[in-house]
Amino acid sequence: MVNAASIGLSTRDLYLFNKGDLFHSYRTFGAHPIRLGDEHGVRFAVWAPNARQVRVAGSFNDWNGEGHAMELVGETGVWSLFVPEIGAGDLYKYEIETLEGNWLLKSDPFAFGAERRPDTASLITDLTKYKWRDEEWQRRKQDGSPYHESMLIYEVHLGSWKNKGKEQFLTYEELAGELVEYVAGMGYTHIELLPILEHPLDQSWGYQVTGYYAPTSRYGSPEQLMILVDKCHERGIGVILDWVPCHFCKDDHGLRRFDGTPIYEGTDWKRAEKPIWGTLSFDFGRTEVQSFLISNAIFWMDVYHIDGLRVDAVASMIDLNFDKPPELHTFNKHGGTENTDAIRFLKRLNETVFHYYPDALMIAEDSSAWPAVTSPTYMGGLGFNFKWNMGWMNDMLRYIELEPNERMHHHNLVTFSLVYAFSENYILPLSHDEVVHGKRSLLNKMPGTYEQKFAQLRLFYGFWMTHPGKKLLFMGGELGQFDEWKDAEMLDWKLLQYPLHHSMQQYVKRLNTVYAEQSPLWERDCDPGGFEWIDVHNAAQSVIVFMRRSHDCNRFTITICNFSYLHHGQYRIGVPERGNYRTVLHSEDAVYGGCLQEVQQEAGSSDIPWHGREYSIEVDLPPFSFQLLSFGDGEVNIPY
């Protein structure tokens, strides 16, 4: 056995790792270029508690680890070795002898770089060279509060936003120019990256990971990723990373039976199996796994300055039998189906992240009805600060796909979300999952003629943008794509040569700008006092009208949506104040592909009580139209 101190390891750190409390374990594990005495080289450390032997094989020893046997550090299950005269750029793997005498060749779970698939070796990487320039962004972020600020997220799959041909991807550095400028120009506040942790299969979109600490080499080097994040921050854009702690893939070089035994997935194979994905669940009750995963969350914020994590598949984590056939069902010690280990893990994860990064975004992608997902753990919650509103998304997509003459019979699909809209801190997602696998693109979900599809998509976006909750749109939604997302091809940018698609992009850009300008649309997203129905029961005409208020209650907006194919002229709406109501945006403006050459710029109130209010205004409601009116914001806000 080796003495930990002799190779620069801390016995306390190894103790904390075994205990589940080493939250920066990437500083201990993996391959670290260091100086030991008078020698420069690389220190390797890996957890393989049930291995007979572990060796390092790599490009520096012709992939034969016989001369580079690692030594066990005490009774920690950790093996370590210092190899002189090697460094960044060298490739390596671990040769692991199992208890049965078989030899495995494994990538490093803590590798900071990886070969480009289909090759699977780990890459010795020095992450200390890049000089960050985002101090101003970090200061500004600390002074803000995400609950009371605008949040408009552009969800991106880097390999198919744009590319140079089949499997000819733009690099992180190239994306730092073109993508970031596009996102900033369109008015988004954040980019959310589909998983960029190293993964073997393109078609998994990054959701089946082998290298949790290595950004995928498909798009270039770790330093190039740092350039991308830095550029986002320079342009005032936050970066959210899709993060997948639920499960991992079964590829031989990965975490499955890492030392010949199930140390990451646990020994209960029924609990470990994720049959719908062909993957394995982490053993969230194992302390070393907790150190590994929580450290990984911290790592992306520490090293890559990621601003937040969207935690994938929370529902699958907290339910032992989520999407499993009866023969794989298991139960907790109380006889229930809750995964109590996963629940404790999620609470601890969020507590730890917010301890180190109080201004982080921790977003739950959760389709369950689990309560208090975004409540603090000391109040019994899971401790996230935002959650995707999957109920709103499913109801609204179901509603908007209905034939217009059927919508009056399903009016509750539009209104029901306000029953629970303030029970959590919500993000309203229109994500990649809704435009693949035969679900059709957002535009193609709309019924009717070519022009009616565009009109309804503009209407739908207007309702989405003004409904309580932060916002997320998957790339391509702003173009009005007809086809579903194709992960192996880039977006259909050629559509912009056609007037209605170009107008749709300009409409989304203007809608994004209006959202940023109108504080009632985001200041009180988590406060029921910031929302008020004006006309909620008009199912017969498929019309809804509601109000959003800012902290300054004298400033508010009114959203008017006509989801029917009929024109409603001289439609009267009750309003709370006497005065002029300015048209901020009208979806049927010809500028955006609509039918109106001129849009009424304001509506003056009358002393005619309506909808339980002292005053009212009259507006014209074209078919499939959205209008946003503003009161109390000073100058007329003209969108032309």
Instruction: Report the distance separating Cα 300 and Cα 286, nearest Å.
Output: 22
Instruction: Report the distance separating Cα 549 and Cα 525, nearest Å.
Output: 10
Instruction: Report the distance separating Cα 283 and Cα 29, nearest Å.
Output: 19
* CA-to-CA separations, 347 to 314, 341, 373, in angstroms, rounded: 12, 10, 10
Sheet of strand 78-84: strand arrangement? 30-36, 39-47, 78-84, 71-73
* CA-to-CA separations, 307 to 100, 131, 173, 182, 255, in angstroms, rounded: 44, 18, 19, 20, 27
Complete DSSP assignment for 94-153: EEEE-TTS-EEEE--TT-S-BPPTT---EE----S------HHHHHHHHH--GGGS--EE
- Please tell me the total number of residues recorded for the chain in this structure: 640
Give me the residue label for tokens 């991807």: 169
Its sign, for the CA torsion 214, 215, 218, 222, is negative
Instruction: Report the distance separating Cα 92 and Cα 122, nearest Å.
Output: 5
Instruction: Report the distance separating Cα 460 and Cα 408, nearest Å.
Output: 16
Strands 71-73, 78-84: parallel, antiparallel or unpaired by DSSP? antiparallel
User: Which of 192, 259, 288, 365 is an active site residue?
Assistant: 365
Tokens of 159: 């390999």
Instruction: Report the distance separating Cα 169 and Cα 132, nearest Å.
Output: 25
Scored b (16 or more CB within 10 A) or e, 349-377 reads bbebbbeebebbbbbbbbbeebeebbbbb
User: Which of 312, 424, 478, 535 is an active site residue?
Assistant: 312
Would residue 252 show up in a list of annotated catalytic residues for this protein?
Answer: no
Give me the residue label for tokens 């936050």: 238
Would residue 312 show up in a list of annotated catalytic residues for this protein?
Answer: yes
Strands 543-549, 426-430: parallel, antiparallel or unpaired by DSSP? unpaired
Instruction: Report the distance separating Cα 268 and Cα 333, nearest Å.
Output: 14
Phi, psi (deg, nearest 5) at residue 515: -55, -45
Specify whether the CB–CB gap between 91 and 102 falls below 8 A: no
**Which residues are known to be catalytic?**
312, 365
